[in-house]
Every structure is written in C-alpha cells, then in structure tokens.
Chains A and B, each alone.
Chain A
Amino acid sequence: EADIYQTPRYLVIGTGKKITLECSQTMGHDKMYWYQQDPGMELHLIHYSYGVNSTEKGDLSSESTVSRIRTEHFPLTLESARPSHTSQYLCASSPPGPLYGYTFGSGTRLTVV
C-alpha cells in the first residue's frame, strides 16, 4: 500500500541534542516537503525537495537541514535542539502539478526540554 511514514511519532529530548526526524514514502513521488505546525497557525513550509540531490529552504527560517539521497527518503536534522523547536513536524509528498494533493505522514511531535 502506497503511504508515507514518519518516525518517531513522539520525541522528548534535552536542549543541545542532535536529532533526526525520519520520513519515507513508497509512492515514488519526486516532490517532498517538511512543514511545521503549531496550534492555531497555518502550516509553515520549512524545507522542500524536487528530487534526489535537490533541497531548498522554505518560508520559515529554520535551523534544521535536510538531505535527499534516495527518492523515498527525506530526513530532517536538528544539530542542536532548543525549546523553540518544540512543535509538530509534518512530512508530505506529491506528484507534480496543481491537480494533485499532498499525502502527509502522521507527524512527529517534538518537545525540547
């Protein structure tokens, strides 16, 4: 079954730790995205990728980095977590063009203490 998977679902970590949020999709989509979602706020695009070896920063200034070595895998890394990074992180993928919606993962709820 085609789908998109995010791990871990929940993560509580101390300030200064390095973390990687995993995202994998089985649909062969070239386009992948990372969004940050806080209650009552719109989804903010933090990184996106057109395909292998293509990554760009989104609208929201972020101290995170991403990589796209394989089509199906789009991990997000925080080198040094801070309490301000506490949020819900959503990964998505899509075919190209305006007619197709995004398929989202279930998200990672990150808490930095």
Chain B
Amino acid sequence: TQLLEQSPQFLSIQEGENLTVYCNSSSVFSSLQWYRQEPGEGPVLLVTVVTGGEVKKLKRLTFQFGDARKDSSLHITAAQPGDTGLYLCAGFDRGSTLGRLYFGRGTQLTVWP
C-alpha cells in the first residue's frame, strides 16, 4: 500500500515556466519533507514542513503543508535546467515505533533550455 501519492509522475517543461507538483496521503504526518535526487546520487533534503498550513520559500521553490497535515505541494517559479531531477516527498510517522519516513515514488522533472 502506497502511503504517499505524488503527481505528476513525469513533468517535462521549458526553461522559464512555472510548475507545481503534489504529494497526497490519507494519513496525517508529524512533518513532511521534500528531497531532490540527481542521477547516480542519493536524495538531498530541500525542506521540512511541520505545521499545518505552513509555507516555506527556498529561492524559487515554495513548499506548502496542507492544513490537515496530509498533503503538500512544491511550486517552482521560472524553472531552470539545474532544477532537473527526481523530487521525492516523505512523511514522518511518529505513530510507528521507529518514528520513520515514508517516501512517495517521486516526480521526475526535466527542464529544457
């Protein structure tokens, strides 16, 4: 059973366009994290959002955590080829004994010059 659904699975856009990717779940999470992974490398943490309704900005990237702490979105303004990568969302489940992250399948973003 997939806990976190990410959409779209693939996104191919031109440089300068805006985009939004989504991460949805029926479960409530203590926090939600976004990672970016480039080919041949491990995921790298971009942001952690904790409070329902929270919005965080990281240069051209805007992250939002849903009010109910079940979903999140990532918006990129004026995308650049350097934004190309696999974007993964991960929810932290404090209810489990491990207190662990569950990952979505990711959105593969390609930005063409």
Q: Which of A's residues lie within 8 Å of B, judged by CB?
A: 9, 35, 40-43, 45, 48, 56, 90, 92, 96-107, 109
Contact = CB atoms under 8 A, between A and B. Distances in A.
A35 B100 CA distance: 12
Interface residues of B, number: 28
Contacts of B90: 102
Given A48-B98, A98-B99, A105 B42 contact: yes
Given A42-B105, A98-B30, A107 B99 contact: no
Given A98-B92, A99-B48, A99-B50, A92 B31 contact: no
Contacts of A98: 30-31, 48, 50, 92, 94, 99
A15 B108 CA distance: 32
Contacts of B102: 42
Contacts of B33: 101
